Amino acid sequence: MALLPAPERTILVRRAAARLCGRLTWPALHEVALPNGRRADLLALQSDGDFAIIEVKSCAQDFLSDAKWHEYRDYSDALFFAVDADFPIELLPEETGLIVTAGLDAEILRPAPAHRLSPARRRQLLHRFASLAALRLARLTDPDDPAPLRAE
């Protein structure tokens, strides 16, 4: 997989991480805009009601040029990085979880340390998650309705 261009590698890693979320019964949404202006690669609602953000990194340079990853912590109970098997994992911070992918398979190699959201933030995030999921489903159900396009 190391020979794939970074954009294609990102798509494959994100897809594998989303499949892992499905196996764990964590519904996950791709590309979720957060209230702080950042965009989570994956936002997953864990089976216990906690939120996990999974930040996908396609290569070392992708991680090294990203100084904003700390800002995802404010909108998750658990923060993970998802990388492919060729990624130099020693670059990734110990205070985050680690998901490693190979093709469309993925495994959690390091659980994410918990940092609980406040009840108000959790309520805000749950509303955003549910609304976005409903809007995306509406767009699939009726792609000609312009209303769902305005809400994202």
Predicted pLDDT at 144: 86
Predicted pLDDT at 5: 79
Mean pLDDT by 10 residues, the chain (152 residues): 75 97 98 94 97 96 90 96 96 96 97 95 96 92 74 52
On whether the 6-116 domain is CATH 3.40.1350.10, my answer is yes
Cβ-based burial of 34 (10 A; exposed 0-12, middle 13-18, buried ≥19): middle
pTM of the full predicted structure? 0.91
Give ∠ CA 9-138-104 in degrees, rounded to 5: 20
Predicted pLDDT at 37: 93
Predicted pLDDT at 143: 85
Predicted pLDDT at 148: 59
